[in-house]
Amino acid sequence: MKVKRIVANIETADPAAVGRFYKDVLGLDLLMDHGWIATYGGDGTMPLQVSFASEGGSGTPVPGLSVEVDDVEAAHAAVVRGGYPVEYGPVDEPWGVRRFFVRDPAGTLVNIVMHTR
């Protein structure tokens, strides 16, 4: 398994309002908007993203980090082997990802995700 990307997720009741600051003030591009989550980042020349979410999708809590991997099943197996309890999934979500949630040793809820389309 190889980590492809790590995305920070920041919980907020109003993702659009917070997003306006990052778009209008800092000049980030809107990369994705599902209503409950909006992701902002660069034009490809800078590897950064920050998301603002009122929920984690499918009624889940907002994870503190999202870690994109190239093989979610291998990541899941490694998490289980490590003895970390999975809190959600693995599940195929309607927006084109397969993912699961696990807490890191510090208690941060981590979304391990792989794009399926």
**Is pTM beyond 0.75 here?**
yes
- Return the pLDDT at 94: 97
Q: Is 114 exposed, middle or buried (0-12, 13-18, 19+ CB in 10 A)?
A: buried
Q: How much is the CA Rg of the chain, to the nearest whole Å?
A: 14
**pLDDT score recorded for residue 46:** 57
Question: Cβ of 82: how many Cβ atoms within 10 Å?
Answer: 9
- Nearest CA to 66 out of 3, 4, 1, 8 is that of 8
Domains of the chain: 3-115 (3.10.180.10)
Q: What pLDDT is attached to residue 20?
A: 85
Q: Specify the pairing of strand 37-41 against strand 29-33.
A: antiparallel
Average pLDDT over residues 89-116: 95
What average pLDDT is seen over the chain? 90
Highest-pLDDT range among 25-29, 93-97, 101-105, 106-110: 93-97
Percentage of the chain modeled with pLDDT above 90: 60
